[in-house]
Structure 1
Amino acid sequence: MAPLSRRGFIKTGALAAALPLAVRATPARAAAAAPPAADLAWLEGAPSLMTGTTFGVPWPRGALRKDQAFALSGAGGALACQSWPIAYWPDGSLKWTAHALPAQAAMPERLQLRPGASRSASAHALMVSERADAIVVDTGVIECIIPRQGGDIIRSIRRGKRETARAGRLVALSDDRPDGSDGTTRQTAFDSQLTRVTLEQHGPVRSVVKVEGHHREAGGTGRSWLPFTVRLYFYAGAESVRIMHTFVFDGDEQKDFLRGLGLRFDVPLADVPHERHVRFGGESGGLWAEGVRNLTGLRRDPGEAVRKAQLAGLAVPPMTERVSRSLHLIPAWGDYSLSQMSADSFRIRKRTKAGHGWIDAAWGRRAPGLGYIGGTSGGVAFGLRDFWQRHPTQLDIRNAHTDAAQVTLWMWSPDAPAMDLRFYHDGMGMDTHAEELQGLDITYEDYEEGFGTPVGVARSSELTLWALDATPARERLVQMAAAVQTPPQLVPAPAHILGTRVFGNLWSLPDRSTPARARIEDRLDAHFDFYRNEVEQRRWYGFWDYGDVRHTYDADRHEWRYDVGGYAWANSELSPDLWLWYSFLRTGRADIFRMGEAMVRHTSEVDTYHLGRFAGLGTRHNVQHWGCSAKQVRISTAVYRRMYYYFTADERIGDVMREVLDADRRLDAVDPVRKIADQPPKGPYPVRASFGTDWASLVANWLTEWERSGSTRYRDRILTGMRDIAAMPHGFFNGDRMGYEPDSGRLHNMIGTGASASHLNAVFGAVEIFDELIALTGDRDFERAWLDYCELFNAPADEQRRRLGKPHGAGNALYLGHSRLTAYAAWKRKDPALARRAWKEFAGPDGRTPPFVPARVAGAAVLNPVTEVPSVTTNDTAQWGLAAIQNLALVGDALPPT
């Protein structure tokens, strides 16, 4: 798809400034006469409970002007929808749009979005007023007051004339030493303190309020730390508010041991205790449901009608005088806790009030994270997503027997051991650079004193509050629990996404038309199914861990190398993130999307630094997510987040991608190649960088900002580097070690007329980003240089010698994975011989595809029976998957049929 001409660019107003030559000198692409409609479907089927949702839709280049309106329809006709742009093509036309649906009773299974007159009005009007002291949002069902200063995130939520919740604030507990020490632990409590409140979006269907602040020592004096960002999402007609909470750790891991982190609010209660009700969601659609003062099981039966009414959460009919006169002698249970301490066990307990003993009420495996407290006149349901997956978590209700209950959703349970974020070993005598390299050689751990710090890592959590006018039916609460765990998500059909080419040319729809194609498709499915099952089998869960996968398997122990240096957590090594997202693009599978979503949430927060000396950089694979001393842009790059962002328009991921825009300025102080042995001196430039692990990762950040905002600054930085690489004697074969100037974006050849290559340069998103760049800019010199690299990397040594003067030196490392580069050159150059060569390379250096055969291991060899693939590594899995997907798309016709 060629980009728009300079004349067309100027005519449409484009992205604010005249384009550089590489972009403006290419021919125009004619806009489609009839812009295509987008077919949409729910990931998990039409939701039974719809509290409002947001989704993204891509459009072909040049097809839609930036002020285009949209109409959404389903089987029952037009639907209310709010629309806004989230990305543009270089010609200024729409590339991605976001759309919001209001809360409503029922939704059709499939919908269609098309350009046209929009219907933005819903059954309820969403209204926002900005006052000097607060922002007030009215969904048409509930009213929420967000103060501009103080300690409360939410001052009040009202439904009609009744205040349903108030004083919503963040709370934290911190110990000054870890559990199990000398018994003199000092604990400090902290509350939220606001620093800025912003109305981020105001529309007829969806409005967003952003609250920023930090945690301050309770009482208003003393220390402030743990910066947070909270977004409150409101949808027209909703009786709920969705909350996205993010905190960043900025303490001293040797002294600060977080003991609890939560959201707390008060719930006014006016009903008599036997008409107050507590609910907790259970497994498989179950529900734990009791009254604050139970009327069942008494020695004196109040009557069947009374018992049934209380169990249903309804007003209780009159009781006999013998029962009613003794109600005060039936215990009223004021305090309740549901705690999930592991992925496999939760406990519900209760007590009458503080100062009295707890009584175990129920046990289970995995709670969905929903609770409720209220009565016949109303109450609050509350939920925490990924409740059991991100243990230890907890839901607390306190003082339910008084006129105001207190609810706390603990993202880290205070009943669990305190967070211990200290580095896991003492350095083991690695005091010199030579000793660090020796450690790297034996355990693959890139250790450097002081670098394995958690200062700057973050975690986001998703919560939902419902303000209700009565205790809901049990079935309704079960629906709420399901919506908390798996929020409804609309996505475009894979065929529509493919037709827009928003993510380039490197994927196609599944095709099993020949035995050979079917074998590849089946194995792609098998690889994903294996990893999805490994998450469960190996319990890759927990607050800091959920969303990541392990790096390499230990066949001797029948366990992943969770404790062996750089072989433990994968931290995006060799792009498992991209493998998941390209797999989703072509299949539309909900389970792939959800696994990719969890990985985005994890890697964008835990594996990336958000403040401090490493801000904007990510951490290479390690036993602890932040443990490796290799702090690199190849981990924090937006290439791993942007697909999820565009499908969801998620503001938090948008923030993260902007946080890394100037990460190149960290590379002088944190040299990305300082641990590679036998490196020559740094040279005259501030940064030495490779084209793949460094520059291409930066380009992904800049490209995403260019398409999101039209920024000419980041566009020009990309084009400068493209020009510099193309001008080098051997193009990308001079790009294994370049000088880089962050101020100008210039790249400099540091190896003269020589040529060299690294097996790592193409496997962190460079292939995918360069394909998009070539299509977007039409830069033929850059394209030629890249195609030369693609053609020669796996080429025979004689061919490399003939064209480069010598072999490039990377050998056959990642040979199978690099078959997709050969395929790309074959596709672009229309070379059948190269296409055939790509498929031979895909079979591996010895001509045989490595087997992938799961086997069962049981008995004394393992703690629990496991299904394993002894040779599995995430590196190989991700690269095989990407090569399979891209080779099928580019040179599928050259694949022998059998």
Structure 2
Amino acid sequence: MSPQKRNHYQQSRRHFLKQSAILASTLPLSGSVPFHAFAGDRQYQQDKNLHWLGEHAPKRTRGVTWGVPWSKGELKETNALTLVAPGGGTLPSQHWVTARWPDGSVKWSAHAAVLDQENGKAALVLRKGGSSSHTGDEAIAVREDDDIIQVDTRSMQCVFSKKGNILIRSIHQGKQTTVTDGQLVLQWQNLPEQTMGEPLLSEELRSEIHETVVEHQGPVRVVIKTTGIHHSDTGRELLPFTVRFYCYLHTAAIRMVHTLVYDADEYKDFIHGLGMQFTVPMTDALYDRHIRFCSEDGGVFGEAVKGLTGLRRDPGKEIRDAQVAGKAAPPVSTFNSRVANGLPYIPAFGDYSLTQSTPDGFEIRKRTSSGHGWLACAHGRRAAGCGYVGGANGGIVFGIRNFWQSFPAQIDIRHAHTDAAKLTLWMWAPDAPAMDIRFYHDGMGQDTYEKQLEGLDITYEDYEPGFGTPYGIARTSELEICIVDRTPTHEELALMAKHIQDPPLLVCAPIHYQQSGVFGGAYTVGPPKSNAEKAIEAQLAFYIDYYKKQIEQHRWYGFWNYGDVMHNYDQDRHVWRYDVGGYAWDNSELSTDLWLWYYFLRSGRHDVFRMAEAMTRHTGEVDVHHIGRFSPLGSRHNVMHWGCSAKQLRISTVINRRFLYYLTADERIGDLMREQIEAAHTLKQIVPGRKVGQIAAKDDSKVSMSFGTDWGALASAWFTEWERTGDEKVKQRLLNSMRSIGNQPHGFFTSSANMDLNNGMFERVKHQHIRVSHLSAAFGLAEICTELIGSLDVPVFTKAWLQYCAGYNADATWQKKHLHQTFKTPNLGQGHSKLTAYAGWFLKDRALKERAWKEFYAGAAGMKLGIPPVVLVRPPEVLSQREEAPVSTNAVAQWSLAAMQCLAFAGDAIDGDVGHELED
């Protein structure tokens, strides 16, 4: 830190301590209010131990990117970090900053390295000190001109286009071309299916590049970002796309993150196929060309284009064995002469298709060529979406991640019997019904707010004409291709498929996440210390495991669905309420995302990380409008993810995305967070409470905004942007908003006011009314306020938040004393026990901590302590066997967050015998 910065920091610190003293004397609560920044463990360690998520280390050379948190003041910059192998040697790696603490020190760093089986035998170490050695031939080379970007990883040379329809022009290994013409394909039709008397029109669109840039460049990792739209020869344009290509040093693989934004008319445009296509040169003899597909359980389907097994005449065991193994067959001169002479009469099957049309069934078919019939090759339950096309002398391994989970998906290989095979990785299968995402009912006469509120009362669906459109929603898929110099063995291919489907990721131990102080320290780690804690731990684990089973038993899968869970259960039909208005898809309601992420941080569980990752991908893309009149707001829970007319910041909130971004440095998640910075502007046109009396601000530069679900989401976006970039303008808007909330007549109890869109300042309201919504702190407000108070010097805000935390569940006596008026005790009392616990922790007030536990155990609008009974329901009562427990997703998410935060903030006040009494 420079002398000028150090002097400024010391002056700010003295000013803050002075303001804290003033705050302590004026806060209408017992106890003092010292500054509590989550600075983390001051016992700084020189080394940061890393381990593989789920002990799933790479068995082959693979590029890996991950994130590491640091305590405040622990690390100034990342340029002196080194990655140390288990044997003590330094590994090639690169490091960059993804977030900083207020003092400028590193809060989160991101790292990239190329690792293999040798690096997975023991913990890797990230060490402070030393220097990196990535110059010359040890670094990826990137060159560009007006037309192309060339990337040389030292294992392959890739050419990316800056214009035209071809995204990847070519991939070479030395002088050998292995892939060409990588492009997107989209099949459009005017009807969802053939209808008698109506012409079915169809058209093919191809990618058209708008821009290709080097988004990230380092010695180990390069990211190429291409944006564009699908375009047809007739001028039709649909579905803007972004594709990121990830290349790593000394690897011959490209990971692709593909995002589409839906800009079509769902009543006129029906997507019949959506994929990424490549041309693969084929030079081997037809009997040395091989097709492979993998199943989820490690099985491999393997055939040659021209088969030499099962013939009437035996070519010889050595020849048969070579073909089955994918090796080059001996010279034709060594063949049985009758087989050699008969080779022209053995059919060459050039076309193969693998189609996963449901989560429970796939089919593999083949034919000789177009114009001839298909043969059924194999059937199975779940395909891994991975395989191989090429010859004994090399080809490409390919894969679509979460293949069967994101059905309908398909892989096509065409013309493998020619000198150029076509490989298409279909994210939406053309053999499946066309994408039909029209709204599911006609409105049923709900043409006024009064009727819509009546509909809400019966089905919990907040309907409004024109609001149930998918326009602007997005979907992100992950694909991968890898260049190999021979046909992989079945074992090798199965392993590669596993790495594509469950990519190895380096993580820290839970204790390190906790001690670093990131995410507000709102969780604990380590074994339970009492019977009460044991009971809570058991119940936390039960809910995770129960929802894992529900995802599988009820098949919460599909292109637009994977990652989400459902809201409420129908005990009569023994199904989740998939068809009942607002009770169907959850759409982050009451912080389901936060529940999973905080539980991962404290447990380190591999399965929980994957659940949370899939949910973040879904809720950040499908549940949010990224373009159009509703952009960038999210949609409340509904039968269709985009169906609800409540377009709100509480769903698109950045606080749900930050975890995945910081743990993986994923650039697409960075996009999602950044698009929320100016989200308040949309609230001018889409007033959240328009049906219940909320009026838009008359001044065009101001917007009516609640301090809970609206401002909490906006604060998350601003705070995250500031810690990522150091943007002082964003920080100032955040500070202005915090101060002006604190200066309201009753702080957070004032509930809402008009905010200036330019500077973030709220008008001070003229009334003295108190309004308390049970939802205000149920969508991440508590979690972001904890981080804000631990990072920023705004005493009046701290006072207002602590008042709200202590007062939400307080009795009338407290209300009258501190607010000079009373309000009806709101809903979600158990969920808000975490607020009471936080106030008790901050103020060092044991009475508040004990009150928090009473509120938690009382279970108001939540769950009682104790694992709920589970009933196994079997056919014929139901279609398939399933487990049932009396739970709702709202209650589970809020119970779990309250449990984790009460343990973190009031764990020393828990009654240690509660769990024992419950067992008795």
TM-score normalised by structure 1 residue count? 0.95
Structure 2 distance, partners of 1:683, 1:849, is: 48
Hey, what does 1:251 align to over in structure 2?
Answer: 264
Hey, what does 2:174 align to over in structure 1?
Answer: 160
Hey, what does 2:906 align to over in structure 1?
Answer: 891
Which stretches in structure 1 are left out of the alignment for 5+ residues?
none
Structure 2 distance, partners of 1:461, 1:848, is: 39
The answer to whether the aligner puts 1:578 opposite 2:594 as a matched pair is yes
Structure 1 distance, partners of 2:179, 2:873, is: 52
Q: Is the 8 A contact 2:92 2:114 kept in 1?
A: yes
Structure 2 distance, partners of 1:848, 1:346, is: 43
When structure 1 is superposed on structure 2, of 116-125 and 154-163 the one drifting more is 116-125
The answer to whether the aligner puts 1:563 opposite 2:579 as a matched pair is yes
Secondary structure of the equivalent of 1:260?
strand
Q: Is the 8 A contact 1:82 1:120 kept in 2?
A: no
Distance 1:690 1:359, change over 3 A: same
Hey, what does 1:687 align to over in structure 2?
Answer: 703
The answer to whether the aligner puts 1:760 opposite 2:794 as a matched pair is no
Hey, what does 2:144 align to over in structure 1?
Answer: 130
Hey, what does 1:745 align to over in structure 2?
Answer: 760
Q: Choose from 43, 47, 54 the match for 1:37.
A: 47
Distance 1:752 1:134, change over 3 A: same
Structure 2 distance, partners of 1:33, 1:394, is: 52
Hey, what does 1:841 align to over in structure 2?
Answer: 855
Hey, what does 1:263 align to over in structure 2?
Answer: 276
Q: Displacement of 1:798 after TM fit?
A: 2.4
Structure 2 distance, partners of 1:559, 1:714, is: 46
Q: Displacement of 1:851 after TM fit?
A: 5.6
Secondary structure of the equivalent of 1:757?
coil
Aligned pairs for 1:811-826 (under 5 A) are 811-826=825-840
Q: What per-residue deviation string (whole Å, max 9, x for no partner) do you get for residues 701-736 of structure 1?
A: 0111000000111111111011111112211111x2
Hey, what does 1:713 align to over in structure 2?
Answer: 729
Q: Is the 8 A contact 2:745 2:765 kept in 1?
A: no
Secondary structure of the equivalent of 2:763?
strand
Q: Is the 8 A contact 1:737 1:751 kept in 2?
A: no
Structure 2 distance, partners of 1:290, 1:504, is: 54
Distance 1:568 1:31, change over 3 A: closer
Distance 1:13 1:358, change over 3 A: farther
Structure 1 distance, partners of 2:214, 2:847, is: 58
- Provide the aligned length of Structure 1 versus Structure 2: 885
Distance 1:506 1:804, change over 3 A: same
Q: What per-residue deviation string (whole Å, max 9, x for no partner) do you get for residues 319-341 of structure 1?
A: 12221111011110010000000
Q: Is the 8 A contact 2:846 2:909 kept in 1?
A: yes
When structure 1 is superposed on structure 2, of 707-716 and 45-54 the one drifting more is 45-54
Q: What per-residue deviation string (whole Å, max 9, x for no partner) do you get for residues 513-570 of structure 1?
A: 2111100000000010001111101100000000000011111111111111111101
- Partner amino acid, structure 2, of 1:779: V
Q: Is the 8 A contact 1:683 1:739 kept in 2?
A: no
The answer to whether the aligner puts 1:635 opposite 2:675 as a matched pair is no
Distance 1:845 1:80, change over 3 A: closer
Q: Displacement of 1:660 after TM fit?
A: 1.2
Aligned pairs for 1:599-678 (under 5 A) are 599-676=615-692
- Partner amino acid, structure 2, of 1:62: G
When structure 1 is superposed on structure 2, of 105-114 and 784-793 the one drifting more is 105-114
- Partner amino acid, structure 2, of 1:531: Y
Q: Is the 8 A contact 1:20 1:716 kept in 2?
A: no
The answer to whether the aligner puts 1:52 opposite 2:63 as a matched pair is yes
Q: Choose from 784, 790, 801 the match for 1:786.
A: 801
Q: Displacement of 1:283 after TM fit?
A: 3.2
When structure 1 is superposed on structure 2, of 503-512 and 684-693 the one drifting more is 684-693
Structure 2 distance, partners of 1:350, 1:313, is: 18
Structure 2 distance, partners of 1:679, 1:49, is: 58
Secondary structure of the equivalent of 2:500?
helix
Hey, what does 1:239 align to over in structure 2?
Answer: 252
When structure 1 is superposed on structure 2, of 507-516 and 660-669 the one drifting more is 507-516
Hey, what does 2:503 align to over in structure 1?
Answer: 487
Hey, what does 1:107 align to over in structure 2?
Answer: 119
Distance 1:412 1:22, change over 3 A: farther
Distance 1:514 1:75, change over 3 A: same
Q: What per-residue deviation string (whole Å, max 9, x for no partner) do you get for residues 237-296 of structure 1?
A: 111111111110101111001100000011111111000000001232110001000101
Q: Displacement of 1:747 after TM fit?
A: 1.3
Structure 2 distance, partners of 1:278, 1:611, is: 41
Hey, what does 2:443 align to over in structure 1?
Answer: 427
Q: Is the 8 A contact 1:174 1:260 kept in 2?
A: yes
Structure 2 distance, partners of 1:30, 1:407, is: 50
Hey, what does 2:747 align to over in structure 1?
Answer: 731
Aligned pairs for 1:354-433 (under 5 A) are 354-433=370-449
Distance 1:316 1:851, change over 3 A: closer
Q: Displacement of 1:21 after TM fit?
A: 7.3
Q: Displacement of 1:866 after TM fit?
A: 1.2
The answer to whether the aligner puts 1:173 opposite 2:187 as a matched pair is yes
Q: What per-residue deviation string (whole Å, max 9, x for no partner) do you get for residues 361-384 of structure 1?
A: 000011111121111221111110
Q: Choose from 306, 316, 321 the match for 2:319.
A: 306
Q: Choose from 137, 141, 146 the match for 2:155.
A: 141
Secondary structure of the equivalent of 1:592?
helix
Secondary structure of the equivalent of 2:280?
strand
Distance 1:132 1:64, change over 3 A: same
Q: Displacement of 1:57 after TM fit?
A: 0.5
Structure 2 distance, partners of 1:25, 1:102, is: 49
Q: What per-residue deviation string (whole Å, max 9, x for no partner) do you get for residues 453-504 of structure 1?
A: 1110010111111112111122111111101110111111111111110211
Hey, what does 1:288 align to over in structure 2?
Answer: 301
Structure 2 distance, partners of 1:813, 1:718, is: 29
Q: Displacement of 1:802 after TM fit?
A: 2.5
Aligned-CA RMSD value: 2.2
When structure 1 is superposed on structure 2, of 370-379 and 390-399 the one drifting more is 370-379
Aligned pairs for 1:522-561 (under 5 A) are 522-561=538-577
- Partner amino acid, structure 1, of 2:85: G
TM-score normalised by structure 2 residue count? 0.93
Distance 1:24 1:802, change over 3 A: closer
Structure 2 distance, partners of 1:324, 1:431, is: 76
Q: Displacement of 1:222 after TM fit?
A: 1.1
Secondary structure of the equivalent of 1:350?
strand
Structure 1 distance, partners of 2:549, 2:781, is: 29
Structure 2 distance, partners of 1:684, 1:789, is: 29
The answer to whether the aligner puts 1:70 opposite 2:81 as a matched pair is yes
Secondary structure of the equivalent of 1:748?
coil
Structure 2 distance, partners of 1:656, 1:249, is: 15
Which stretches in structure 2 are left out of the alignment for 5+ residues?
21-34, 914-920
When structure 1 is superposed on structure 2, of 445-454 and 507-516 the one drifting more is 507-516
The answer to whether the aligner puts 1:97 opposite 2:117 as a matched pair is no
Q: Displacement of 1:24 after TM fit?
A: 11
Distance 1:180 1:9, change over 3 A: farther
- Partner amino acid, structure 2, of 1:236: L
Structure 2 distance, partners of 1:266, 1:184, is: 33
Hey, what does 1:195 align to over in structure 2?
Answer: 210
Structure 2 distance, partners of 1:614, 1:751, is: 31
Structure 2 distance, partners of 1:54, 1:83, is: 10
Secondary structure of the equivalent of 2:264?
coil
Structure 1 distance, partners of 2:526, 2:116, is: 35
The answer to whether the aligner puts 1:507 opposite 2:530 as a matched pair is no
Secondary structure of the equivalent of 2:421?
strand
Q: Choose from 89, 92, 96 the match for 1:84.
A: 96
Structure 1 distance, partners of 2:536, 2:709, is: 28
- Identical aligned residues as a percent: 48
Q: Is the 8 A contact 1:817 1:842 kept in 2?
A: yes
- Partner amino acid, structure 1, of 2:190: D
Q: Choose from 271, 278, 283 the match for 2:291.
A: 278
